[in-house]
A and B are shown apart, each in its own frame.
Chain A
Amino acid sequence: MNPRPENRGAAIDLDTVSKDYGSFKALDAVSLHIKPGEFMTLLGPSGSGKTTTLNVIAGFTDATSGKLLVGGKSVVGVPAHKRNIGVVFQHYALFPHMTVGRNVAYPLALRGVTGAERERRVRQALDMVKMADFAHRYPSELSGGQQQRVALARAIVFDPPLLLMDEPLGALDKKLREWLQLEIKRIHRELGTTFVYVTHDQEEALVLSDRIAVFNRGSIEQIGTGRELYDEPATLFVGKFIGDSTVLRGQAATSAGETAIVISGQTVVTDKRLADGGSPVMLLRPEKLALAPRGAADAGRNRLAGRVGEAIYLGSGSKYEVVLADGSKAIVRSALEAQSFAIGDEVDVLFAGRDVKLLADDDKADLTLT
C-alpha cells in the first residue's frame, strides 16, 4: 500500500452535545475535540454514553442539542448515508447473501465506482486486512476475527476521512483480540484516517489510542493520553477505571502543607492538598506500594497494617491483595527480587506521601464496572 499523505483524516468537534431519552440523559453536554488523523478512544462502562456519542457522530442517533462538526462542517441533520463515515460494528454486520468481495465492493458500487477501478480498490482494501484470498467466500464461512477484518476492509474501502469502531473486538477471544489490536494500530498508521474507537476495556484503550476520553454517566470525566490518565487521574472514577488502584478513605484532616487521613486508628500523610473542597481520598498505584513483614522498621514512609488475602505470581513479579484493618483492599505489585509473602501473612503496606494521588471523593466512582 502506498504511504498516504499526512493528516488526511477529518477533525471532529462535539460542542455541548446532549441526548435525552425522556428524563434520562444519555449524554450530558459532552464536548470533545478530535484532531485530524488522531486515534481517539471513548472508554467507559456500559451505559456511560460512549456508544451514544459514536451513534451521534455516525448519524444513527440525533442529538437533542449541541453542535457536531466533522471536518469543520456541521453535520447536524445530515442522514447517516450522506456522512461518508466508515463504521465497524461489534457484530460485524457483513451482508450474509454477498461474498466477501461483494461486501467490500458494496460502498464502491453505491458511489458509482465500476469495473477495474472497483476491483483494484476491493483488492487493495482486502490486502490491507490480509483477507485477499477470501474474496469468494461467504461471511458464514469465516471465523469471527476474519469477518471483522472484512468488515474493516468494507469500512475503509471508500476512503472515508473518519472511521468509527464500536467495540469491534468485543466478541473475540483474548489472543485474537490482542493480535487484531496491533493490526488496527498498523492500519491507522498506514491510512492516516481519524479513528474513533469505543471500548470498555481499559487495556485495549491503552494499547491503541493517541488519546482516551473517559466516559461516566453521560459525561466525559477526563481526556488525555494513557499515561496522563494513569499518572494524573483527574477524578476518582478515572483513577479506578484505568489500571489497578488502591483507594484509602477515612477521617481526613487538612493542615497548612499536608493532608492526613486516619484509617482504623492509623494515620497516613501526604504533602499534597486538594485544591477545592470535598472530602479527600488517597489513590495509589500498585507499583508505588511495597510490603514488609509486620513491624519491620522503615522510617519516613506511610504504614498500614494488613493481612495478605491473595498472592499471585505473575512471572515478572508478584501481585498481592492485602486486606487492610478497615476491610478495604490494597493492591500491591512487587518486583521479582522483593521478599515474597504467602496468603495469611501479617504485613505492613508501605508507601511514600509523594506517590499519593489526592482526589475528591465521589460516589459516582463506585458504580459496578463492566
Chain B
Amino acid sequence: MSALEPTTPSVPKRAGWAWRPFALTLPALLLLVAVIGYPLFTIVLRSLSEPQWGAQNYVWFFGTPVNLTVLQRTFVISAWVTLVCVVCAYPYAYLMTAVGPRVRLALVLCVLIPFWVSGVVRTLSWVILLQDSGVINSVLRSVGLDGVRLIRTQTGVVIGMAQVLLPFMILPLYSVMRGIDLRLMRAAQSLGARPFRAFFTVYLPLSLPGVYAGAIIVFILALGFYITPALLGGPRSTMLSTLVQTQVLSLLQWGRGGAMGVVLLVTTFVLLALAAPVMRSRHREAGRR
C-alpha cells in the first residue's frame, strides 16, 4: 500500500444500535414538523392557491420592480450587518479567550444582557440615540461638527440590527477561539513568523469555522428582521419582512405574502449552497486537530 494515500480511520459500525439516537430525537422532530413543517407547507400552498390556483403571485412578485428592489436591499443590508458583526465580534471574542475568568464573566454578561431586554425597547433606545435631535447628533453639534442623518436611513438600520445580532456572532466565535491552542502562535514565532504573520497564517484560519458559523446565523436572522428596520428605517430602507406584513395584515393578500416568503427562503438556500463548498473545505482542515 502506498502510504501517500491518506486513509480515513474506520469507525466500527454497530448497525443494531443505529436507530436509537433517532428514537431519542423523535419528540424534537415531531415538534419541528408541527411548528415549522406544517406552516411552511401552508404558506407554499397558499402562495399557489390564492386567490386561485396558479403562479399569479410569483408573476406579480417578479413583475413589480419595487419588490425586486426590496429583495435586493434585504440581502445587501443583511450582508452589511454580517460584516459589521464580524468586525466587531472578532476582537471581542478574542478578548474573551485572553482574559481571566472574572473579566470573561463580565464580558459574557455584556453580551447577554441585551438579550434579556425586549427587542422593541432596545430599538426604541436606538431611536433616541440616532434621531436628528438625538444623543449622537447633539454631541456632534456641541463639538462644532455637522449633524449626520442616521434615523430612517440604511446606516441606522444596519447599526441597530448589528447591535441586536452581535451576540449570535460573538458566541460561536468565542467557542471556536477557545479551542485554538495559543501555543501554536509561539511555535509559529519560533519558526520565524512575525506576530502579524503568525496571526494571519495560523490563528485566523483556525478561527474561520467560528466566523462562518456566526456569519450564517447572523445573515439568516437579519434577512427576516422586522421590528428594527420598521422603527429605524425609512421608506428607502424597507426590508422584505415589512412588505410581507403590509401584504398580509393590511391588504389581506395571503397569497402574495406567502410568495414573498417562499422567494426569500429559496434565495437564501441558493446563496448558502453557493457558499457551502468554501466553508466546508475550510471547516474540514481546521476541524482536524
Decide: A138 and B191 in contact? CB cutoff 8 A.
no
Decide: B191 and A133 in contact? CB cutoff 8 A.
no
- Decide yes or no whether B201 CB sits under 8 A from chain A: yes
Chain B residues with Cβ under 8 A from A107's Cβ? 191-192
Stretch of B50-58, B88-96, B148-156, B181-189 at the chain-chain interface: B181-189
A85 to B190, CA, bound (A): 7
Q: A138 with B3: in contact, given A106-B201, A110-B197, A158-B192 (CB under 8 Å)?
A: no
Nearest residue, chain A, Cβ from B184 = A93
Nearest residue, chain B, Cβ from A164 = B190
Q: How far is the CB of A61 from chain B (nearest CB, A)?
A: 11
Q: How far is the CB of B150 from chain A (nearest CB, A)?
A: 41
Decide: A80 and B184 in contact? CB cutoff 8 A.
no
Decide: B206 and A93 in contact? CB cutoff 8 A.
no
Q: How far is the CB of A229 from chain B (nearest CB, A)?
A: 29
Binary CB contact string for chain A from 70 to 99 against chain B (1 if under 8 A, 0 otherwise): 000000000111101111010101011110
Stretch of B98-106, B226-234, B281-289 at the chain-chain interface: B281-289
Decide: A97 and B187 in contact? CB cutoff 8 A.
no
Report which of B9, B183, B197, B286 forms a contact with A89, defined as CB distance below 8 A: B183
Chain B residues with Cβ under 8 A from A89's Cβ? 183, 186-187
Decide: A97 and B286 in contact? CB cutoff 8 A.
yes
Q: A141 with B6: in contact, given A96-B288, A97-B288, A106-B201 (CB under 8 Å)?
A: yes
Report which of A84, A93, A138, A141 forms a contact with B187, defined as CB distance below 8 A: A93
Chain B contacts with A in 172-214, Cβ cutoff 8 A:
181, 183-184, 186-195, 197-198, 201-202, 205-206
Chain A contacts with B in 132-188, Cβ cutoff 8 A:
133-141, 154-155, 158
A80 to B183, CA, bound (A): 13
Report which of B6, B184, B186, B197 forms a contact with A95, defined as CB distance below 8 A: B184
Decide: B4 and A106 in contact? CB cutoff 8 A.
no
Chain B contacts with A in 1-21, Cβ cutoff 8 A:
2-4, 6, 9
Report which of B6, B201, B289 forms a contact with A96, defined as CB distance below 8 A: B289
B contact residues vs A (CB 8 Å cutoff): 2-4, 6, 9, 181, 183-184, 186-195, 197-198, 201-202, 205-206, 285-286, 288-289
Chain A residues with Cβ under 8 A from B194's Cβ? 81
Chain B residues with Cβ under 8 A from A155's Cβ? 190-191
Interface of B is mostly: helix
Decide: B183 and A86 in contact? CB cutoff 8 A.
no
Q: How far is the CB of B2 from chain A (nearest CB, A)?
A: 8
Decide: B289 and A111 in contact? CB cutoff 8 A.
no
Chain B residues with Cβ under 8 A from A136's Cβ? 4, 6
Could you jot down 10 A-B contacts, CB within 8 Å?
A: A60-B190, A79-B189, A81-B192, A95-B188, A95-B202, A97-B202, A97-B288, A110-B193, A138-B6, A138-B288
A79 to B195, CA, bound (A): 10
Decide: B285 and A106 in contact? CB cutoff 8 A.
no
A140 to B4, CA, bound (A): 15
Among B183, B189, B192, residue most surrounded by chain A Cβ atoms (within 10 Å) = B192
Nearest residue, chain B, Cβ from A90 = B183
- Decide yes or no whether A213 CB sits under 8 A from chain B: no
- Decide yes or no whether A58 CB sits under 8 A from chain B: yes
Among A79, A81, A139, residue most surrounded by chain B Cβ atoms (within 10 Å) = A81
Chain A residues with Cβ under 8 A from B189's Cβ? 59-60, 79-81
Report which of B9, B197, B198, B201 forms a contact with A141, defined as CB distance below 8 A: B9
Nearest residue, chain A, Cβ from B201 = A106
Task: Give the A-B pair count, Cβ closer than 8 A.
Answer: 85
Q: How far is the CB of A333 from chain B (nearest CB, A)?
A: 41
A96 to B287, CA, bound (A): 8
A137 to B285, CA, bound (A): 11
Nearest residue, chain A, Cβ from B288 = A140
Report which of A110, A133, A137, A140 forms a contact with B192, defined as CB distance below 8 A: A110
A89 to B197, CA, bound (A): 20
Decide: A86 and B193 in contact? CB cutoff 8 A.
no
Chain B residues with Cβ under 8 A from A59's Cβ? 189-190
A154 to B193, CA, bound (A): 13
Chain B residues with Cβ under 8 A from A84's Cβ? 192
Report which of A81, A135, A138 forms a contact with B190, defined as CB distance below 8 A: A81
Chain A residues with Cβ under 8 A from B288's Cβ? 96-97, 138-141
Decide: B205 and A97 in contact? CB cutoff 8 A.
yes
Nearest residue, chain B, Cβ from A154 = B191
Chain A residues with Cβ under 8 A from B2's Cβ? 133
A248 to B130, CA, bound (A): 83
Decide: A91 and B192 in contact? CB cutoff 8 A.
no
Chain A residues with Cβ under 8 A from B188's Cβ? 95, 106
Given A60-B189, A110-B197, A141-B6, 16 other A-B contacts at CB below 8 A?
A81-B191, A81-B195, A86-B190, A86-B191, A89-B186, A93-B186, A96-B206, A106-B191, A106-B201, A107-B191, A110-B193, A133-B4, A136-B4, A139-B289, A141-B288, A154-B191
Chain A residues with Cβ under 8 A from B193's Cβ? 81, 106, 110
Chain B residues with Cβ under 8 A from A140's Cβ? 288-289
Decide: A80 and B186 in contact? CB cutoff 8 A.
yes
Chain B residues with Cβ under 8 A from A98's Cβ? 285
Q: How far is the CB of B174 from chain A (nearest CB, A)?
A: 19
Q: How far is the CB of A298 from chain B (nearest CB, A)?
A: 58
Decide: A137 and B6 in contact? CB cutoff 8 A.
yes
Q: How far is the CB of A343 from chain B (nearest CB, A)?
A: 46
Nearest residue, chain B, Cβ from A137 = B6
Report which of A60, A85, A86, A133 forms a contact with B186, defined as CB distance below 8 A: A60
Chain B residues with Cβ under 8 A from A138's Cβ? 6, 285, 288
